[in-house]
Structure 1
Amino acid sequence: MTNKIQEANLAMVVSKTFSGLNVNALRYLLPLWIAPLTGVTFRCVFAAVAFWIIGYWAKPETASVKDKIYLFLLGAVGIYGYMFSYLMGLSKTTPVSAAIFTSMQPIWVFILSVFFFNEKATVMKIVGILVGLGGALLCISTQKSDDLASDAFSGNLFCLVSSVIYAVYLILSNRFLKRTGPYTLMRYTFSGAAVSSLIVMAFVGYEASLTTPPLHFWPIALLLFVLIFPTVISYLLIPTGLKYLSTTVVAIYGYLILVVASIVSFLVGQDRFSWEQLGAMLLICVGVYWVEIAENNGRERKRPHSPSIT
């Protein structure tokens, strides 16, 4: 069991690191080398094809036709809506701000669970929600548009909406995960997202200068990284972590996305340090800690934990 726990910890470190680097890679590509909606299509179609191929070699899973249709529709609205909002937001704001809103997903999961699944709301959890929302408000209200963020306000709002949509998707998909299995879940939800992305692209058009000659190495390399590692491998590593680690530990690993994205952003010049942004980051981290961790007391959650995929 010790080896399994070590493998689970390693899986979470690798998964969250990829997710953090994904923020920086996407920001490099958006919108100069690829339009946000075209980027969504690339990710959804590639993931759908990859998960169907991987699922063919995986352990057989059973699911009713009704569940498959439900998952397809959930992906068509949930995953596509999440990626649409996230890439639109990231194209307008900085990677650090986008990662800040991604880290809020556990807070939205809890709020939705209180309203729709009768989860108990304690004083500490309510305080955590308010602190986290205060951090989001601080980030939205203080960040100004500049050469690194063409429209910081709308970009941050898009990222905020994306984190809410993903929380809804997580709660709904979790209700089918145990009876359908992870590979069935990923195949049908990403198939739905792929269909939605292709329909939208048919109307808005294809726009990706990185595929127009002369081809450039770094844009192509970063696109391949985004498609293979954060989009596919990160999703495959998460079940290993969730199987052998407590949700408390998984929640702590979620902060790696914010840490990695922030460090890389400052090193490569994708963001500039600001006290307001640091304050927002700390407030949201504290809020998530109180909501997700402080009252666990070593017990497993009945509600789903957000894997914080970007």
Structure 2
Amino acid sequence: MKDKKLEANLSLVVSRIFAGLNMNALKFLLPVWMGALTGVTVRCTFAAVAFWVTGWFVKEAPITRRQRIGLLCLGAFGMYGFMFCYLLGISKTTPVSSAIFNSLQPIWVFLISVLFLHERATLMKIIGISLGFGGALLCILTQGSDDLAHDAFTGNMLCLLSSVFFAIYLILSKKLLEEIGLVTVMKYVFGGAALSGLVISTILGWNAPLFADAVHGTWHWMPWVVLAFILIFPTYLSYWLMPIGLKYLKTTVVAMYGYLILTVTSVVSYIVGQDRFTWEQGVAIGMICLSVYFVEVAERKANS
């Protein structure tokens, strides 16, 4: 079991590093080279195809019709909802702000557990949740729109909502992974997300100057390289590795790896000029880190 936990932690480290770099890559790509909604559809469709192809080579136990429907719905609403808000949000705000809200996932996991799974709300958890909300509110109210974030408020709210969607996805997918194989889960989840994406993109329209230019013979190699990175590493490989962590670690521990995303995204953002550090941002990060610490300490006491 120790080997499995080590494998799970290593899988999450690699997965979350890719996820951190993903924010910087998406900020480069969106919305100049590709619209956010088109980006969601491209990612989900690529992942669905990749995991279905993988499924041809990985033999897992068959699942019931009810399980298939459940996974498709989880993808169509949970995964697609997360990516919809996430990509649309990051196209409007900065990568660091997006990562700050991503770090709230453990708070949402606990809050959902208290509200719907009848987990006891202790003083430590209440303090933690309050600090987390305070940090998020500070980031939302103090960040103005500028050349790096053309609609910071809307983007931040969307990123906040995306973290809620992902927390719900973590809770539900962990339960499913106890019964169903990893590849089976991912191919149906992304299959459902791809269906939602294709329907919505068809209704609202496609927006991908990168593809349009390529059709007319103009190739922009750097955006194509960035897109390939996003599809292969943060999308396919990262989502391959993350369920390994979910299978052997607690949901809150998995969610806490969001700090690694925040660290990677922040360092890269400041190096490449995708964000500017402000004291409000620093305080918000500190408050959210403290909030998760309080919540995690509370859980350890409850389980001891």
- Conserved in 1, the CA contact under 8 Å of 2:60 and 2:184? no
- Pair 1:100 & 2:100 matched: yes
Q: What is the CA–CA distance in structure 2 between the aligned matches of 1:54 and 1:156, rounded to whole Å? A: 35
- Greater shift, 285-294 or 274-283, is seen at 285-294
CA drift of 1:249 comes to 5.6
Q: Which residue of 2 aligns with 1:37?
A: 37
Question: Could you say what secondary structure the match of 1:118 adopts?
Answer: coil
- Pair 1:199 & 2:199 matched: yes
Q: Aligned in 2, Cα 1:274/1:87: closer, same or farther, shift over 3 Å?
A: same
- Greater shift, 59-68 or 16-25, is seen at 59-68
CA drift of 1:85 comes to 0.8
Q: Which residue of 2 aligns with 1:292?
A: 296
- Conserved in 1, the CA contact under 8 Å of 2:177 and 2:247? no
TM-score, structure 2 normalization: 0.92
| Identity, % of aligned positions | 58
- Pair 1:257 & 2:261 matched: yes
Q: Which residue of 2 aligns with 1:153?
A: 153
- Structure 1: which amino acid aligns with 2:242? I
Q: 1:44-88 CA distances to partner (integer Å, 9 max, x unpaired)?
A: 000101111112222312321011012112211111111111111
Q: Which residue of 2 aligns with 1:226?
A: 230
- Structure 2: which amino acid aligns with 1:271? D
- Greater shift, 163-172 or 212-221, is seen at 163-172
Q: What is the CA–CA distance in structure 2 between the aligned matches of 1:53 and 1:35, rounded to whole Å? A: 27
Q: Which residue of 1 aligns with 2:221?
A: 217
- Conserved in 2, the CA contact under 8 Å of 1:63 and 1:179? no
CA drift of 1:207 comes to 1.2
- Structure 1: which amino acid aligns with 2:289? C
Q: 1:254-307 CA distances to partner (integer Å, 9 max, x unpaired)?
A: 31100000000000000001000111111111111221345325959xxxxxxx
CA drift of 1:171 comes to 2.2
Q: Aligned in 2, Cα 1:299/1:15: closer, same or farther, shift over 3 Å?
A: farther
- Structure 2: which amino acid aligns with 1:192? G
- Pair 1:63 & 2:67 matched: no
Give the alignment of 1:72-221 within 5 angstroms.
72-211=72-211, 212-213=213-214, 214-221=218-225
Q: What is the CA–CA distance in structure 2 between the aligned matches of 1:76 and 1:284, rounded to whole Å? A: 29
Q: What value does the CA root-mean-square deviation take over the aligned residues?
A: 2.0
Q: What is the CA–CA distance in structure 1 between the aligned matches of 2:177 and 2:247, rounded to whole Å? A: 13
Q: What is the CA–CA distance in structure 2 between the aligned matches of 1:108 and 1:285, rounded to whole Å? A: 14
- Conserved in 1, the CA contact under 8 Å of 2:92 and 2:150? yes
Q: 1:7-59 CA distances to partner (integer Å, 9 max, x unpaired)?
A: 44432221111010000000100100100000001100001011111122223
- Greater shift, 247-256 or 49-58, is seen at 247-256
Q: Aligned in 2, Cα 1:19/1:5: closer, same or farther, shift over 3 Å?
A: same
Question: Could you say what secondary structure the match of 1:296 adopts?
Answer: helix
CA drift of 1:238 comes to 2.2
- Structure 2: which amino acid aligns with 1:178? E
- Greater shift, 281-290 or 134-143, is seen at 281-290
Question: Could you say what secondary structure the match of 1:13 adopts?
Answer: helix
- Conserved in 1, the CA contact under 8 Å of 2:136 and 2:288? yes
Q: What is the CA–CA distance in structure 2 between the aligned matches of 1:169 and 1:76, rounded to whole Å? A: 11
- Structure 2: which amino acid aligns with 1:27? K
The answer for unaligned runs of 5 or more in structure 2 is none
Equivalent position to 2:284, from 260, 280, 284:
280
